[in-house]
Chain A
């Protein structure tokens, strides 16, 4: 290896900065609500085998790129990839995409006739067809209900756009205007990524860049080896349950993990999970990998930089056709709730091996809501699509944070003023729910509630979890408050709906949406009186809650 270690360090930083720049470009030019206010996208540069040199901002997309590029290489052959080619896919099984709503674009970088790297991006689409507006159908029973399916195919051929492909995509979405706008933005950022890799090759030499990339992979192995060495040998095990798969609401779905640590290598055995579900709660391996690496980085050292060399140290075991290793045509559009539950379960399983590091179960993905209506304030707009945060579980020394997207999700809430300006609804309330943080020596975070009033007839589709099985506490902490979805809240027609549903609402109908609170950590009786008093003052805990959960007389506590 002739490349010097300083050049490796320098190019690794440079690649991360190129990814940052791609993110910025795409974010600023995003069209659809989901991209522009929520930033549900990622951009990346990976090596010629699809291996990650640095992690994308939306971390759980990372492993997707590896599997996606591997698939493209298998389909087309490295020797047939040309500069200016762009491949597109939204296929959960062919491309390991999280769900059909996410569309990935991959562009090979061929410098002086040599395949050096790929520039790529994944972004959520406002609508890719399928049974319901917004495409993410919580009651889907087949992949085909979730929208059009594009296996990895060329959409640019050596720089020439394939207009037929564009028309094909436009014909399969309810929002062609926003989808085509997003696609043009995505293809634009792959070009920016490519240009930077070419510039690096020109400056340092192609051999040096390729060698440096190989060295970056080895580096990530060594960095993770050092971090993993701090976990003592042993076995951890935990399980958790999804409310249901969205279709069969009589059966919770079991997520189970057994972790075996042996001399710095880890084996994650998921064989105890339920079989793949009829409803869309299923994952493929890239999602599972994303959850595992996320947890390990969070537990060991949040400043660790992921690279695909880490793959050499961790192995996975699955049962065939399980909820974490699904096969077609199992639907998967509600993948995030399963990912979030999986994270909770992995953290819990590792708690005995790394005391004080784990946290209680979080509120999960607060869920998403799609409001579609005939007409609307302005023509040509996509549907209103919002993703909600929930709350963090508590950990040693730390109450959970309230009203925030947690773990793998890091998304922006749509502002009330934007929602009301662009869609025919009014938001009546936007407030935290007292007592929704699980009690404990350290309290879980509080969830929040938004109450919508439809100003026009609308179809509402939402997906969530944790109404039936609330987030569990850790080490004696109590569970967080469950999620809750209510029609006509506060009236005598009030009706509690399941955590995943599709409704047709008349103008004037009010609908309340709230995510789950975070689980508590440690015995509530150990909570310091100062913290209880402060929670009472700030309204995070009600006087009744203080009595019930902490055995405290609020009048005495306040004085």
Chain B
């Protein structure tokens, strides 16, 4: 039958499953995560679905989001890896960027421990110059000696990174062959495959991460495959979320430098869900995703259904410049801690009380007031339940903590202090959205804010107010929205090749041959992944800069004469670059030389999207007409806010103040805002 599509998103505390049937009905299942081996929770959740009568053979699509590689990196639980590098260039890994990215006042600054220490780094003779010419041949004997020596030291994964391998990968490829022959079954990552892009440290960093985590991902995917087979889920359509917001076949997840594309995938699924469900399907052109959970808030921008992207990033303190959805994460969640400093100034964050001990009101031993405690004291949350009544909240304890630790030192009332915490955290999120919006030149007044995650819908309208945003959308299941994103993502692979060349000196033939080479690689890999011959789109892009600039602007070529590359296209792209530069930086220099630095190819294979039918959301409480709570937005004025069930929000707008409760979230509608339901099951909040 193959009528079901299953999305499984593994989070820090919960593993969320979303099952969509052939007629678009949605089912949600939540199980506790199993950090030791995350596939256990995945299979446990599937077991529950099967127990409830879903035939595993009817599941025809499996989409998966996991942070297994991210966690292994942060916890330093990767493979024992070794490195081959040019003779005389050991310092690349030690010096890195030469700068300190952490607190610059830290006198005892130290870097994160290297993924591969110097004692497992071997120098290899041979050199390629900046034009890709060999100026010294590869010392093949040295490679073989190095491979055996490292193997003797227990190395199971090899990173190979030579200077200018993006211009000419011959030395790296040859070294890779020798290593594989000398140490069969070892994992080998070549920098020219992982990230063939200019600047040796980011390329080396990506290559080291790929080697360090390749075996980890291979083992995880192996376990999961076996487990899915054993549960009778026979579909070969198994996919893994990537940082770029696309998925890849599970079978392709290791090897060829793909591992590094999973590291920033955690928050990507939720943003994809926003892009597809609210952007593409519901036709909203400008969206800001605000995913506020227990410890942090993820912010992303979506234009015409397409999330904006970046090509430079970090994971923990590790540099990783692969394409990723442009998601800014700040420490603003329900568990974020508030305190008063030595000058009686209220500060919120950056630390979080996490899930344990959690906010004071959880009664799990937390004694530092948090954003959730302030939300409760402000009247936004229902003390009788959280997560469908599983937990009652101790409002009195929250009030006491805010009173003793915040209100008294500052000479405020408890409610004023609670409001202060809420205002400050809202302003923090607004500041970040403002910075990100200006960076990407997004007009906030024309955008809608999409609130999800447990705490998002509580704060979203207040954040919007601060930003002059006039509409907030709360999707039907804010708590399980991310898992839905796994079912509406295409297969997307990204390829890059650096070559610095003045645009004026670039011949259409040269450009065409560079793109063709990338397309051939893409075709080859797709057919190896069993996806050959399917419908697919190639998207060509150029990283351009003014001669002398150190960073490039990724310039899309769609709509121009770039397939095949024509003279006219070269002129068109230059104009497009000037316009983009003007838009992003406020000025352009049309008389200056423009250089191409990298050629990019994205291949996209569209996946069928589920048709969603909104069939009602479980009621969270028995709140009905007549129920109301006393709330405050400024700490002084008390307002009576009616409390509604989500199911009771109809198409006619109701004016705030208003509280809407459902099983996995609470939506706060401040005065001056109205709430109504739309045909897609969203709650729509409008500034009046």
Stretch from A130-138, A147-155, A293-301, A313-321 that touches the partner: A293-301
* B434 contacts across to A, CB distance below 8 A: 17, 21
A511 within 8 A of B: no
A417 with B130, Cβ < 8 A, contacts A5-B345, A31-B549 known: yes
- Whether the Cβ atoms of B424 and A9 lie closer than 8 Å is yes
| Cross-chain contact B585 with A185 (CB below 8 angstroms) | yes
Select from chain B the residue with minimum beta-carbon distance to A295. Answer: B107
**Set of chain B residues within 8 Å of A29, measured between Cβ atoms:** 549, 581, 585-587
Question: In the complex, are the beta carbons of B88 and A428 less than 8 A apart?
Answer: yes
Residues of A within 8 A of B103 (CB): 302-303
- Judge whether A33 and B550 touch: CB under 8 Å: yes
Give CA–CA (A421, B549) in the complex, Å: 13
- Which of A75-83, A250-258, A327-335, A397-405 interfaces with chain B? A397-405
CA distance in complex: A219, B95 (Å): 38
Q: Tell me the smallest distance from the CB of B169 to a CB of chain A, in Å.
A: 14
Question: In the complex, how many angstroms separate the beta carbon of A28 from the nearest chain B beta carbon?
Answer: 6
Q: Mark A282-307, 1 if CB is under 8 A from B, else 0.
A: 00000000000010011100111000
CB-CB contacts below 8 Å: B405-440 with A = 410, 412, 419-420, 423-424, 427-428, 431-432, 434-435, 438-439
A347 touches B547 (CB 8 A): no
Q: Do B129 and A426 have beta carbons less than 8 Å apart?
A: yes
The one of A32, A39, A403, A426 in contact with B95, judged by C-beta atoms closer than 8 angstroms, is: A403
Q: Chain B residues near A14 (CB, 8 Å)?
A: 427, 431
The residues of B that contact A431 with a CB separation of less than 8 Å are 88-91
Across the interface, A415 reaches (CB within 8 A) one of B119, B200, B342, B548, namely B200
Q: Does B423 lie within 8 Å of A10, measured CB to CB?
A: yes
- Selecting from A85-93, A107-115, A406-414, A459-467, the interface stretch reads A406-414
- Tell me how far the C-beta of A449 lies from the nearest C-beta in chain B, rounded to whole angstroms: 8
Chain B residues, CB < 8 A from A446: 94
- Which one of A8, A32, A298 has the greatest number of beta carbons of chain B within 10 Å? A298
| Chain B: minimal CB distance from A403 (Å) | 4
Chain A min CB distance to B688 (Å): 19
Q: Is B104's CB within 8 Å of the partner chain A?
A: yes
Chain B binder among A44-52, A231-239, A240-248, A376-384: A376-384
Query: Which of A13, A347, A378, A411 is B98 in contact with, Cβ under 8 Å?
Result: A411
Asked if B98 contacts A389 (CB within 8 A), the reply is yes
What residues of chain B lie closer than 8 Å to A509, measured between beta carbons?
Answer: none
Instruction: Say whether B91 contacts A432, CB under 8 Å.
Output: yes
For chain B, the count of residues having a C-beta within 8 Å of the partner chain is 69
Nearest B residue (CB) for A413 = B98
- Establish whether residues B345 and A432, one from each chain, have CB atoms under 8 Å apart when the complex forms: no
Q: Contacts A36-B549, A418-B199, A538-B118 given: A410-B585 contact, CB under 8 Å?
A: no
Interface string of A522-559 (1 = CB under 8 A from B): 00000000000000011110000000000000000000
**A191 lies within 8 A of B100 (CB):** no
Q: Does B117 contact A (CB under 8 A)?
A: yes
Given contacts A188-B586, A416-B163, contact A404 B99 (CB under 8 A): yes
CB pair B344–A5 under 8 Å, yes or no, is yes
| Interface membership of A475, Cβ < 8 A | no
Give the complex CA separation of A441 and B473 in angstroms. 59
Which of these, B107, B109, B118, B584, contacts A357 with CB under 8 Å? B107
- A1-44 to B contact mask, C-beta < 8 Å, 1/0: 00001101110011001001100110111111101110100000
**Which of A27, A380, A539 is the one whose CB lies under 8 Å from B118?**
A539
Known contacts A412-B97, A420-B130, A298 near B199 by CB under 8 Å: no
Instruction: Tell me if B346 counts as interface (CB < 8 A to partner A).
Output: yes
Output the least CB separation between A222 and chain B (Å): 3
Q: Which residues of B contact A220 (CB under 8 A)?
A: 343
Q: What is the chain B residue whose CB lies nearest that of A215? A: B345
Choose one: B98, B106, B343, B427; the contact of A403 (CB below 8 Å). Answer: B98
Check A192/B428 contact, CB under 8 A, given A222-B342, A417-B198. Answer: no
Residues of B within 8 A of A59 (CB): 104-105
Given A28-B585, A380-B547, A415-B201, the answer on whether A397 and B346 have CB atoms closer than 8 Å is no
Cβ of B432: which chain A residues have Cβ within 8 Å of it?
A: 17
Q: How far is the CB of B523 from chain A (nearest CB, A)?
A: 29
CB-nearest residue of chain A to B439:
A24
> Quick check: B428 and A430 within 8 Å, CB to CB?
no
Question: Are B587 and A188 in touch, CB under 8 angstroms?
Answer: yes
- Check B500 for interface membership: any CB of A closer than 8 A: yes
Contact A39 B99 (CB under 8 A): yes
Contacting pair A412 B99 (CB below 8 A):
yes
Given contacts A416-B163, A538-B118, contact A10 B427 (CB under 8 A): yes
Question: Across the interface, which residues of A come within 8 angstroms of B633, CB to CB?
Answer: none
Q: Given A33-B550, A178-B548, A185-B587 in contact, is the A20-B107 Cβ separation under 8 Å?
A: no
Please determine whether B91 and A430 come into contact, CB atoms closer than 8 angstroms.
yes
- Please state if B109 and A223 are interface contacts (CB–CB under 8 Å): no
* B546 contacts chain A at the CB level, 8 A cutoff: yes
Docked pose: A230 CA to B160 CA in angstroms = 51
Q: Quick check: is A358 within 8 A (CB to CB) of the other chain?
A: yes
Distance to closest chain B CB from A57 (angstroms)? 8
Interchain CB contact (< 8 A) of A13 among B109, B111, B431: B431
Chain B residues contacting A129 (CB-CB under 8 Å) are none
Q: Whole-angstrom distance between the alpha carbons of A459 and B106 in the complex?
A: 37
Pick the residue among B89, B99, B423, B439 that contacts A405 (CB under 8 A): B99
Does A312 interact with chain B (Cβ within 8 Å)? no
Beta-carbon contact of B89 and A25 below 8 Å: no
Q: Does B593 contact A (CB under 8 A)?
A: yes
User: Do residues B98 and A405 form an inter-chain contact, with CB atoms below 8 A?
Assistant: yes
Q: How far is the CA of A35 from the CA of B431 in the complex (A)?
A: 26
A375 at the interface (CB under 8 A from B): no
The yes or no answer to B164 lying at the interface (CB within 8 A) is yes
Complex CA gap A399/B94 in Å reads 14
Q: Are B346 and A359 in contact (CB under 8 A)?
A: no
Q: Give the residues in chain B near A27, CB-CB below 8 Å.
A: 551
B339 to chain A, nearest CB (A): 12
CB of A401 within 8 A of CB of B109, answer: yes
Chain A residues with CB under 8 A of B428: 13
CA of A397 to CA of B107, assembled, Å: 12
Give the distance in Å from the alpha carbon of A432 to the alpha carbon of B92 in the complex: 9
Please tell me if the beta carbons of B427 and A359 are within 8 angstroms of each other in the complex.
no
Specify the chain A residue showing the minimal Cβ separation from B102: A302
- A-side contacts of B549, CB under 8 Å: 29-31, 36
B615 at the interface (CB under 8 A from A): no
In the complex, residue of chain B having the shortest beta-carbon distance to the beta carbon of A188: B586
Distance of A377 from chain B, by nearest CB (Å): 9
A59 vs B92: C-alpha distance in the bound complex, in angstroms? Answer: 27
Q: Is the CB of A223 within 8 A of B199?
A: no
Q: Mark B533-572, 1 if CB is under 8 A from A, else 0.
A: 0000000000000111111000000000000000000000
Interface residues of B in 252-292 (CB under 8 A from A): none
Chain A residues in 8 Å Cβ range of B88: 428-431, 451
Q: Is A165 an interface residue (CB 8 A)?
A: no
Minimum Cβ distance to chain A for residue B206 (Å): 14
Contact A302 B105 (CB under 8 A): yes
CB of A181 within 8 A of chain B? yes
Q: Cα distance A226–B345 when bound, in Å? A: 12
If A382-B548, A418-B198, A539-B119 touch, whether A6 touches B99 (CB-CB below 8 Å) is: no
Complexed CA–CA distance, A417 and B167 (Å): 11
0/1 interface trace, chain B 118-134, chain A, CB 8 Å (1 if under): 11000000000110000
The B15-45 residues at the A interface (CB cut-off 8 A) are none
A416-B163, A417-B200 known; A191+B586 contact, CB < 8 A = yes
- CA gap between A347 and B118 in the complex, in Å: 32
| Chain B residues, Cβ within 8 Å of A432 | 90-91, 94
What's the minimum C-beta distance from B424 to chain A, rounded to whole angstroms?
6
Determine the distance from Cα of A349 to Cα of B618 in the docked complex, in whole angstroms: 67
| Cβ contacts A to B, 18 pairs, < 8 Å | A10-B424, A13-B431, A20-B435, A59-B105, A298-B106, A359-B108, A378-B593, A389-B98, A399-B110, A403-B95, A403-B96, A410-B99, A411-B99, A415-B199, A417-B198, A428-B88, A432-B90, A539-B119
Q: 6 new A-B pairs (CB below 8 Å) besides A5-B344, A184-B587, A399-B110?
A: A188-B586, A219-B345, A389-B95, A403-B94, A418-B550, A448-B91
